[in-house]
Amino acid sequence: MTVDSIEPIANRHLEVSRSVRVTKMTPRRHHPVNRRTNCLRASLARLCAVLAVIALVGSCSGGTNESKQNDKKTGDVNESPKVDPDNCPVSALDDATSPVEITVWHAYNALTQQAIEKTAADYNASQSKVKVNIEAQGTYPELLKKYEERLGDPSSLPDVVFAEDTNLRFLVDSGSVIPSGDCIAADPDSKEFYDDLLPSVTATYAINDVLWPAAFGVSMPIMYVNNSQLKKAGLTDSTPLATLDDIRAAAEKIKAAGLPGVEEPVVMQLYGWYFENWITGAGQTIVNEANGHSGLATKSTVDDKSAQEVLAWMHSMAKDGLLKAYPYSGDINQFLAIGNQTASILIDGSRAVTAVNAIVANTGQQIEGTEGLSTDDLKGIELKVMPIPGLKKAGQGGAAGSAGYVVAGENPEKIAAGWDFLQYFNSPPSQVLWTTMGSYLPVTHKMDESAEIKDFFANDSGGKLLSVVKTQLQNTDPEFPNPIIGPYDWFRTNVQSMMERVVMQGNDPKSNLTKFSSDFQSALDDYAKEVSG
C-alpha cells in the first residue's frame, strides 16, 4: 500500500534537497511575459530567484510586535509595491475567436484529485470559451522539479499551477507567476471573494500586502484518536488532551491498561510540518524578520526553548515506548496503525479526513490501495478528530496547504482563461465540493455560513470530523503566520533528518538542535549572498 492511496494525508511537502542558485535581477516590475523571460534567461539554474525578494518580502498583513520593530529598521524593504492591472489581461478572453485551451498542474490524488477533476469538468460544461485540461504531476516534489525544469522553456509551463505553500517564495522569485493582486485590480468583480478571506489565509500568502495565489487549499495538522480505546484505558471526554504533556499522560494510561494489540499508543510520521507548527503555535520564530514576513530572513532563531521542548518530548516518548515514529515517506503506516488498532492516537494532517472517514465508516467509497484493512480490523473503531495538541494549548499553529497560481504566460488569452477558471474554482458550488470531497477547509466567511457547508459539518460523518479543523483554522492567529524561508527545501528536508536522529536513533535532542540551527544558518547565509549578488 502506498501513500497515493490516501494522499490527502497532510499535504506532502517534502522537497528534494538541493543547492540554491539565485540570479540577481533589477527589482523592477515588468509585464509578466518580460519579467519571467528575463529571469529565465539569466541562468540555467533551477531556482531563478531575484533581487526583488528583498524589495517584496515586506510585512505581511498584520504582524507581530517583532515585525513592527523590524519595520523601523528595514527601510525600503517594507515599501509596498503597487498592484498593476496591466500585468493581468483578464479582458483578453472576451476577444478570443475560438476556445482557449489551458493546462492545470496539481499534485493531488484520491478524493482531492477527484474534486479538482470534477470542478474542471463542470467548468468546461458551463461555458464554451475555455477548455481546461487537468494534469496530475505525482507528488509535490515531482511537480516542483518538473516546473523548475520547464522554466527554461516558458511555453512548456502550465497555465495554472497548484503548488504547496512552501513554494510561494520560489514561484515569486522565479518571476513565473502573476500576483492575484494584479488580477483583482483588473477584475473588480472578483474583489468580494478575496476581501472575505479569513485573515490567517491572507496573512499566509501575502507578501508585502500583495496577495499572490488566486485559489487556496488550506489544511492543518490535527489529532486522530480511536475513542473506544481511550475509553477502555479509563480516559473520558473530560480528560485533557490539549498539550503535549497531556498526550504523554494519556499515552501512559493506555500503555498501562495493556489493551490487546496496542503497541505504542501514539503514532506519527516525522514530518517537518508538525515540528514547525508546534513551535510557531507556541509563538517562537524559526527565522528573524518576524518569521520572514517583514524582510529577507537571514538568521536562524530555531534553537530556542519551544523547539527544544518539542524535540525532548518526542525523544522521551519514543524512548519510553509511548510513541511509534516513522520516517517521512510515501508509506501510510501511521494510518494503518490506527486502522489495525495497534495505536490509539495519531498526529497527522486534516486533508486525510474524508478519505479516512470513508474507510473507517465503511461508506462504500473505494479508496485505492486500502485493501490491507479488513472490515474485521475496523470493527470497534470510534474515530474522533481533535485539535492538534500544543506546547501551551490545543489548536495553535499556522494555516498551510496548497494554492493555485496564474502562470505568467506569453499568451494574454491563456492568462485570462486561467484567471477565469480559478474564479469558477472559487465559486460557491466548487468550494463546497472542495470541502466535502477534497477535505480542504472553507477559506471565506461566506462559505463557512453557506447552507451546504453548514449541513455537511452538522450531518455528514466526515463533515463532523472536519468541523473540528475548521474551528481550529478560524482560531488561528493571523498575526503569527507560518515562516517564509528562502532555502525552505533545505530546512524541511534537514529538520526531518534531525527528527529521525533524535526520535528513531535516540540521539541527544539539544545537541542535535544546536547543530541543525548552525547548519541552517549557513544555508541562510548562502541564500542571502546569492540574493545580494
- Does some domain include residue 475? no
**C-alpha–C-alpha distance, residues 171 and 178, integer Å:** 9
Domain boundary among 436, 465, 494: 465
Query: Which three three-digit cell numbers place residue 418?
Result: 486561467
pLDDT at 32: 38
Query: Which three three-digit cell numbers place residue 250?
Result: 494519556
Tallying the residues shown for the chain, one arrives at 533
How large is the angle between the packed helices 509-532 and 305-319, nearest 10 degrees? 140
Helix (H) or strand (E) holding 423: helix 412-425
Tell me, yes or no, whether 423 and 349 share the same domain: no
Burial of 183 (0-12, 13-18, 19+ CB in 10 A): buried
Q: Which residue has the cell 479516512?
A: 356
272 closest CA partner among 4, 2, 13, 8:
13
Tell me, yes or no, whether 126 and 183 share the same domain: yes
CATH number of the domain where residue 35 is located? 3.40.190.10
Tell me, yes or no, whether 308 and 412 share the same domain: no
Tell me, yes or no, whether 375 and 355 share the same domain: yes
- Say what the pTM is: 0.80
Tell me, yes or no, whether 54 and 195 share the same domain: yes
Give me the torsion for CA of 284, 488, 22, 31, rounded to 10°: -90
- Does some domain include residue 311? yes
pLDDT at 365: 46
Tell me, yes or no, whether 305 and 367 share the same domain: yes
Tell me, yes or no, whether 7 and 138 share the same domain: yes
Domain boundary among 433, 465, 497: 465
Tell me, yes or no, whether 284 and 204 share the same domain: no
Cα–Cα distance list, 252 to 27, 237, 308, 470 (Å):
56, 17, 22, 30
Full domain range(s) for residue 356: 222-397+483-532
- Does some domain include residue 103? yes
Domain boundary among 465, 499, 523: 465
Q: Catalogue the long-range contacts made by 97-101 (C-beta closer than 8 Å, 24 or more residues apart).
A: 99/128, 99/129, 99/130, 99/131, 100/129, 100/130, 100/131, 100/413, 100/414, 100/416, 100/417, 101/130, 101/131, 101/133
**C-alpha–C-alpha distance, residues 327 and 220, integer Å:** 20
Query: Which three three-digit cell numbers place residue 43?
Result: 541562468
3-state helix, strand, coil split of the chain in percent (to 5) is 50, 15, 35
421 closest CA partner among 104, 176, 115, 168:
104
- Does some domain include residue 449? yes
424 closest CA partner among 168, 124, 24, 9:
124
**C-alpha–C-alpha distance, residues 400 and 419, integer Å:** 22
Number of domains into which the chain is organized: 2
Q: Are 100 and 93 in contact (CB under 8 A)?
A: yes
Q: Which residue has the cell 484493512?
A: 373
- Does some domain include residue 384? yes
Three-state SS for 444?
strand
Tell me, yes or no, whether 255 and 338 share the same domain: yes
- Does some domain include residue 477? no
pLDDT tens, residue order, the chain (533 aa): 333 333 332 333 333 333 333 333 222 233 333 333 333 333 323 333 332 332 232 223 333 333 333 333 333 333 445 789 999 999 999 989 999 999 999 999 888 999 999 999 999 999 999 999 999 999 888 999 999 999 999 999 999 999 999 888 888 878 899 999 999 999 999 999 999 999 999 998 988 888 999 999 999 999 999 999 999 999 999 999 999 999 999 999 999 999 999 999 999 999 999 999 999 999 999 999 888 877 778 999 999 999 999 999 999 999 999 999 999 987 888 988 988 899 999 999 987 786 677 767 654 444 444 445 555 556 778 989 999 999 999 999 988 999 999 999 999 999 999 999 999 999 999 999 999 999 899 999 999 899 999 999 999 988 998 999 999 999 999 988 899 888 888 999 999 999 999 999 999 999 999 999 999 999 999 988 876 76
Q: Which residues is 326 bridged to in the sheet? A: 269
**C-alpha–C-alpha distance, residues 298 and 525, integer Å:** 6
- Does some domain include residue 471? no
Tell me, yes or no, whether 207 and 228 share the same domain: no
Query: Which three three-digit cell numbers place residue 516?
Result: 541543525
User: Checking DSSP bridges between strand 266-270 and strand 177-178, what pairing results, if any?
Assistant: unpaired
Helix (H) or strand (E) holding 206: strand 206-207
Cα–Cα distance list, 440 to 27, 128, 149, 255, 339 (Å):
35, 28, 29, 34, 22
- Does some domain include residue 473? no
Three-state SS for 177?
strand
Three-state SS for 365?
coil
Tell me, yes or no, whether 353 and 215 share the same domain: no
Tell me, yes or no, whether 378 and 408 share the same domain: no
| 107: amino acid identity, one letter | A
pLDDT at 18: 34
Burial of 37 (0-12, 13-18, 19+ CB in 10 A): middle
